[in-house]
Amino acid sequence: MAAESRAIAWGELAEGAADGVDFVVSAEELQQFAALSCDCNPLHVDADFARSKGFDDVVVHGALLVAKISQLIGMRLPGRDSVWTGLTLQFRHPLYVGQAARVEAVVERLSAATGMVLLKLTLRAGETLLAKGEAEVLLVRP
């Protein structure tokens, strides 16, 4: 699981640059995340309960989706030399176990003076928008 993080130099970044991560959350990963986070809300662990509340199945934790954003920022765009400083995210639809999803980031703005990168974020399952937002990232330069 020790994938190598890509390092993008400041001069290689440009507004409009984009990258993404495709993923599917398995039932085992959802259980592991519930145990790790201690968030065992029945919406996340009890399919009958989730269905009784109008959902199709157990709902993947929003924080697990945030972890996928962290993967994208820390491993791909801007990658290894970045430190996350802020996040805003609005959830629109739930993600369910076994559903293919993608998190994407687009460089919206760069500030050479501060080393800050503003990323526009989207999470989708097919054509369905799951969440959208922004991340502020500091690219640490030598």
pLDDT tens-digit map of 86-122: 999 999 999 999 999 999 999 999 999 999 999 999 9
Q: Assign residue 43 a region: left if phi > 0, alpha if psi is -120 to 50, beta otherwise?
A: alpha
Kindly state whether residue 27 falls inside one of the protein's structural domains.
yes
Q: How many domains does the chain have?
A: 1
Kindly state whether residue 69 falls inside one of the protein's structural domains.
yes
Q: The domain containing residue 123 runs over which residues? A: 12-139
Residues 6+ apart with CB under 8 A from 11: none
Kindly state whether residue 32 falls inside one of the protein's structural domains.
yes
Kindly state whether residue 48 falls inside one of the protein's structural domains.
yes
Kindly state whether residue 5 falls inside one of the protein's structural domains.
no
What torsion, rounded to 10 degrees, do the Cα atoms 63, 60, 45, 25 define? Answer: -110
3-state secondary structure of 94: coil
What are 5-46's pLDDT values in tens digits?
Answer: 888 888 899 999 999 999 999 999 999 999 999 999 999 999
Kindly state whether residue 134 falls inside one of the protein's structural domains.
yes
Kindly state whether residue 7 falls inside one of the protein's structural domains.
no
CATH number of the domain at 41, please. 3.10.129.10
* Tokens linked to 80: 């290894």
Kindly state whether residue 50 falls inside one of the protein's structural domains.
yes
pLDDT band, residue 1 (cuts 50/70/90)? low
Query: How many residues does the structure list for the chain?
Result: 142
